[in-house]
Amino acid sequence: MKSTNVVTLALLAALALWSNTPAQAAEITILVNQGAVSGVRDLAAGFEKGSGHKVVVDFVGIPQQAEKINTDAPGDLVVNFLPTFDELVKNGKVVAGTVAEFARAGNGVAVKAGAPKPDISTAEGFKQAMLNAKSIGHSNAGTGPYNTRLFQKLGIYDQIKDKIKIVQGKPVAVAVADGEVEIGLQQTNVIQPVAGTQYLGPLPPDLIEYGRFAVAVRNVSKNQEVARDLVKFMTSAEAAPLLRKSAMEPPAR
């Protein structure tokens, strides 16, 4: 009986090695909001395939994410805009030394399906599209506030401010599809793809301002070693094509 058990254990270990699945696969949870969920889902799938561990992507709104962090709800990692981590480290909500920038995204533009498609590939073309639009929608969360600075930089804010609508409670592209606004601006990985709209593309390179995203291990993680491995994967060269698939980019190095 003893020798049988030894053979069985050896077989299980060999199968685990062959399938690239660890003998003790872990399940880890990563908290993420709308700003980076598309990229995180693809990265999680890539990590699962390569490691054999299970990644649960806990997609929540910004207030819900903050509440989970502040109340030390179970979980292993958190993704958010890079500047928010200073406070999280200070308050002991993430493990110091684990914060790592892994992605960035700028804003893109969408119009209703079937509507004329203005050329926004140049700064002048984008400026003219904003001046010609009957209404413009963007959010005030994430990269939303970038748009006000952009309009001011182009010298058109005072001319268009009365036709700007701040979209809340739903993606900007949904407001475009519903006819609430003629043209919408939001993060490239959030504004597309949305049924009933057509994506015109990102802002011209000389106008784009990037939101920077980071990941860190949470103080309450029960699987810190695996969580750290996921951080390494998210910042590796292998992660870049997965991010681009989701209309995000690896950070500038």
Residue range 178-213, pLDDT digits in tens: 999 999 999 999 999 999 999 999 999 999 999 999
Predicted local distance difference test score (pLDDT) of residue 253? 74
Instruction: Measure CA 80 to chain center.
Output: 8
Position 52 pLDDT exceeds 50: yes
Q: Which pLDDT band, with edges at 50, 70 and 90, does 13 fall under?
A: very low
Token output for 244: 């681009």
Burial 2-16 (b: 16+ CB within 10 A, else e): eeeeeeeeeeeeeee
Percent of the chain with pLDDT over 70: 91
Q: Indicate the helix (H) or strand (E) that contains 187.
A: strand 183-187
pLDDT at 3 over 70: no
Report d(CA 179, CA 176) in Å as an integer. Answer: 5
pLDDT recorded at residue 9:
44
Confidence (pLDDT) at 14 = 35
At residue 82, does pLDDT exceed 80? Answer: yes
pLDDT, mean over the chain: 91
How many percent of the chain have pLDDT more than 90? 88
- Min mean pLDDT across 61-65, 130-134, 152-156, 190-194 is at 61-65
pLDDT in tens, 205-245: 999 999 999 999 999 999 999 999 999 999 999 999 999 99
Q: Both tokens of residue 190?
A: 């959030």
Query: What does pTM read for this prediction?
Result: 0.87
